[in-house]
Amino acid sequence: MPRDIAPGDAEWDEVASRLANFMESMTASDKRRIAADEISFRRFCAHAMQHIANFLGFTLKNIDEFVRDMGWALKSGWQQGIERAQVKRLRP
C-alpha cells in the first residue's frame, strides 16, 4: 500500500537524494538540448545565408567556421566557443 513518507523516516533521505540527482540530470538534459538547438539554428542560418549572400551579391567568409566552432561550443559552453572562434580569426 502506498503510504506517505516524512522527514525523519529512513526512506526519506534515500528518496530525496535520488530525486535531487534525477532533477539535476533533467536540468542538464534541458541545457544540452537548448545548446544543441542553438547550433542547429546556426546550421540553418549558414544554409540560408549562402543563398542570401548570393542574392545580395557578396561572399561570406568563415561560414563553415561559424557552424563548426559552435559545434565545439556545445561541449565547452557558448562563451568559450566565441572566444575560440575569435582567437582563430586573429591567427595570421
Partner 1 sequence: MNDSRSYLTKAIGWLRSNNPHVTEEQWAKTEEMLAKKAEEASPPTIALIGLTGVGKSSTINALFNSGVNVSHHRPCTQTAQAIEGDLYEYTGRRGTIVVYDMPGLGENLAADERHYATYCQTLPNVDVAIWVIEAPSRTISPIEVALRRLRRHCGPEVVDKIVFAANKIDRIHPGESAWIKQANMPSLEQKETTELYSNFLFESLGSEVSRPKDSIVCYSATRRYNLEVLMEQVGAHAPDDRAWLLGKVADVADFKELVDPRLLAWIQQKQHGDIRGANRDA
Separation between Cα atoms, residue 7 and residue 74, nearest integer Å: 39
Query: At 64, which helix (H) or strand (E)?
Result: helix 63-76
Nearer to partner 1, 37 or 76 (CB): 37
Cell 565545439 belongs to which residue?
72
| Interface of this chain with partner 1, residues 2 to 41, rule: CB under 8 A | 2, 4-7, 12-13, 15-23, 25-27, 29-30, 32-34, 36-38, 40-41
**Residue 60 Rama label (left phi>0; alpha psi -120 to 50; beta):** beta
Binding site for partner 1 (CB under 8 A): 1-2, 4-7, 12-13, 15-23, 25-27, 29-30, 32-34, 36-38, 40-49, 52-53, 55-56, 58, 60-63, 65-66, 82, 85-86, 89
